[in-house]
Amino acid sequence: MFEVLTEVASNKRVTHDTWLMALRSAEIARAARPGQFVMIRLSLGLDPLLRRPFSICGVKEDLFLLLYRLVGKGTLLMTEVRERDRLRVLGPLGKGFARVEKNPTPLLVGGGIGAAPLVFLAQTWAERNLTFMAGFRSAKDILSPQAAIGKDTRLLVTTDDGSQGHHGPVTGLLENVLQESKAEVAVFACGPKLMLRKVAEMTMARGIPCQVSLEANMACGLGACQGCAVKAPATSGKSYVYVCKEGPVFDAKDIDWEGF
């Protein structure tokens, strides 16, 4: 884990509300694993005060990529960053996706901007014959990761309003794939809370291994502030797990989905 001043190599808008930023840091690019994140200081003044977490969407030589959606003050500042600007970055942080035993076929399930860490995962596991399911609200929101993940990877896109690709939530698509699938599978998911909860319930009911990448408000990203708590199931013997250090990727069984 490093705390470095990085140079912005590019920062491009990819949809009406989503941008892709490339930052230069050989240390971070080399150390980053899919599912890990960085904390970025967006102002040298006091507003915003805390660093903001962004999951890593890929690496390319000495660059690491961040796919982010404009949602508030912090991300607005991100969109205003220009090429050659410098940003203080802490990372890579947290525990990423783990390879599962027995090597089942990976099913990647992303909701909206939740596709970001899964793109990195798909690149890393390009040889594993995986299926990438990506759900979006509407055609204008689609982030097509096909170029990033290679044309051999099976990509299924769905929209809530049916304006492009399949019609309906990505969990519906997952349901279909699970029913059709004859091989052993493992699910890797990132997206909105309700989607993750549904994915966790679907997979746990079938005894399918499932890893989820979670988000939480956090101050430090290092395990020091203990701000990013998520309720753990009673059976685990723990009350909470911490997204920054024990996560952001968890086994679905390690989260209390009732209280999520």
Partner 1 sequence: MHPDLTTQIGSLTLRNPVIAASGTFGYGLELESLVDLNLLGAFVVKGLSLEPMPGNPPPRIVETAGGMLNAIGLANIGLEAFLRDKLPRLKQYATPVIVNIYGHHTEEYGELASAFKGVEGVAALEVNISCPNVECGGMAFGIDPFTSARVTETVVRNTDKTVIVKLSPNVTDIKIVAKAVEGAGAHALSLINTLTGMAIDVETRRPKLANIFGGLSGPAIKPIALYMVYQVARAVTIPVIGMGGIMDYKDAVEFLMVGARAVEIGTANFVNPRATVEVIEGLRTYCAENGIRKIGEIVGSLKT
220 lines the binding site for partner 1 (CB under 8 A): yes
**160 contacts: CB under 8 Å, gap ≥ 6:** 135, 136, 137, 138, 168, 169
Nearest to 107 by CA among 90, 130, 88, 139: 130
Query: Which of these segments, 30-38, 46-54, 75-83, 144-152, binds partner 1 (CB under 8 A)?
Result: 46-54
At residue 33, φ and ψ (nearest 5 deg) are -120, 150
Site map for partner 1, 177-216, x if CB under 8 A?
---------------------------------------x
Q: Using CB under 8 A, count the residues that bind partner 1.
A: 30
3 binds partner 1 (CB under 8 A): yes
Q: How far is the CB of 74 from partner 1 (least distance, A)?
A: 9
Phi-psi region of 57 (alpha: psi -120 to 50; beta: other; left: phi over 0): alpha
Q: In angstroms, give the least distance from the CB of 48 to partner 1.
A: 6
Residue from the set 15, 27, 41, 177 that interacts with partner 1 by CB under 8 A = 41
Question: Which among 114-122, 166-174, 196-204, 237-245 is the span making contact with partner 1, rule CB under 8 A?
Answer: 237-245
94 burial level (CB within 10 Å; 0-12, 13-18, 19+) = buried
46 binds partner 1 (CB under 8 A): yes
- Tell which phi-psi region holds residue 105, choosing left (phi > 0), alpha (psi between -120 and 50) or beta: beta
Instruction: Quote the DSSP letter at residue 30.
Output: H
Cα–Cα distance between 95 and 186 in angstroms, integer? Answer: 18
> Tokens in use for 256?
């209390």
* 95 near partner 1 (CB under 8 A): no
| 226 is a contact residue toward partner 1 (CB under 8 A) | yes
Nearer to partner 1, 41 or 166 (CB): 41
Does 233 engage in binding with partner 1 (CB under 8 A)? no
Q: For partner 1, give the closer residue by CB, 13 or 73.
A: 73
Among 218, 249, 252, 255, binds partner 1 (CB under 8 A): 218
Are 190 and 117 in contact by the 8 Å Cβ rule? The answer is yes
Does 230 bind partner 1 (CB under 8 A)? Our answer is yes
- Footprint on residues 49-68 left by partner 1 (CB under 8 A): 49-51
Would you count residue 227 as binding partner 1 (CB under 8 A)?
yes
β-sheet bridge partners, residue 241: 230
Nearest-angstrom CA–CA distance, 151 and 131:
12
Q: Which is nearer to partner 1, 81 or 90 (CB)?
A: 90
Instruction: Indicate the pairing of strand 18-24 with strand 63-69.
Output: antiparallel
Span 71-90, contacts to partner 1 by CB under 8 A: 88, 90
Instruction: Name the token pair of 241.
Output: 């797990």
- Contact footprint for partner 1 (CB under 8 A): 1, 3, 41, 46-51, 88, 90, 216-220, 222-231, 239-240, 245, 259
